[in-house]
Amino acid sequence: MAFLRVVSLVVVAALAAGLQPMMAHAAEKFAAMTVDARNGKVLYAENADAIRHPASLTKMMTLYLVFQDLAAGKITLDTPIRMSARATGMAPSKLGVKAGNSITVETAIRALVVKSANDVAAAVAENLGGSESAFAQRMTRTARNIGMSRTTFLNASGLPNPGQVTTARDMATLGLRLMRDYPQYYPYFRTRSFVFQGKTIKGHNRLLGSYEGTDGIKTGYIAASGFNLVSSVRRGDKRLVGVVLGGKTGASRDAYMKQMLSKYFDDATGGRTIAAYAGSAKGAKATEETATAAAEEAAPAAKPARKEAAAKRLPAKKTKASEEQVAAATPVEPSEQGDTEDGVDSMASLAAQAAAPATTGTTTTATTTTEQPAQQVETVPQPMAEQDATQQPADQAQMASIAAGTDAGWTISLGDYATKSDAQAVLQMTRKRTPDVIAGKTAQTVMVEKKGQITYRARFTGFDESTAAVACKAIKKKKTPCQPQGPS
């Protein structure tokens, strides 16, 4: 009851401010911010400095570095981006370029903005940074240099990684810096579709074309983050940057963004400058903004201060209706809906894959009763071969995070499989069959390359030596291979 009263106050506060209550947003994921792009003033903030997962908002920084290299003359829009086997093995969303083929930098930009293509993000990182890990280190260094003090990047796509974190404030700052630092390239963010190999590819950002003045920036979703959105909206000489993190659905996130921005437009300042930081006017810079017939355009940014200058907080006014809405709200893991561009590694999609017949290899069939329909028979793919304990993963960034857990350094490996869906099916079925020994652990699929062959390793992390041994003993009883592995 005490928890309910606390949550009720938050909901009622939002009602009093004229915003719809965030019933569709898990409290542990939600954060929001509205910034006046002209001077960096924070007009609204909720959990602005709380640690969150960026999902595909990560690609904003990937693009920032692309723009940085373009401006420095290190690359051109026609520079080829070669797709490696590793890059093509990324989880969806993907552009689908075959390994060994190339696309231009400009096509890569459009694919990142519109399709949110994870294969392209990995390829860009490899081509510009030598490796994705090296590129991610550059991303983090750049984040610090531009005032994003609480952001860490471990990959270029935003695919699930527990250590890849950010805040609403940092994402607002990044949105500003894209406009301020690279106004000549920022207009790419207004792209709603593009044609690739004769096919029209449409984007995920539904505010473009539906909310007056919107010119970007980026959507994102993974199970750990909820539905994320950074938006830039210009009306006349006023411009706001909004951030919403942790939406339960794309629709509820978009609706909240519209309400939030609409409420604070009257408080915005007119002008032609773009702030460098969310929370400070320092570094604001005059920038030439281009407008389109649809009122979608470009812009730049200003500098940060920890304290918001009169940031509006929401007064509380308790209502019975709001309490009933809170009580009715139940957290649900999002399935494939709206803009799930960061891949399909949600619980719902893994369950669907686990229930489907394996696409390769032999399978084992669980014992069933006469009342069980044939299509519900559990099938688990078998690993391709005996695992080599010395084999090193080629990509530790590609993982399917099913549950949060503290990694004590030990993992349990359930074998290497021909496809990622096979590996995911094994993870999901193992969670169903032995829930006690892997409760609270994180499931991962890791792409492994050995002698030119790519396989996908299924594993759980978050163990110590003794619990890993106990888990493997229980899993082996269910006829699934399991091997404890200590810290490398």
Residues with a known catalytic role: 56, 59, 116
Q: Are 30 and 246 in contact (CB under 8 A)?
A: yes
Cα distances from 148 to residues 84, 283, 286, 304, 422, in angstroms, run 30, 15, 21, 9, 38
Hey, what's the torsion of the CAs at 331, 333, 337, 342, to 10 degrees?
130
The rounded distance, in Å, linking the Cα atoms of 113 and 119 is: 13
Q: Are 183 and 294 in contact (CB under 8 A)?
A: no
Cα distances from 401 to residues 163, 289, 338, in angstroms, run 12, 40, 20
What sign does the CA torsion over 341, 342, 347, 352 have? positive
Which residues, 6 or more positions from 8, have their beta carbon under 8 angstroms from its beta carbon?
A: 318, 322, 323, 326
Hey, what's the torsion of the CAs at 432, 435, 438, 441, to 10 degrees?
70
The pairing of beta strand 410-417 with beta strand 363-365: unpaired
Closest CA to 39 of 308, 236, 298: 308
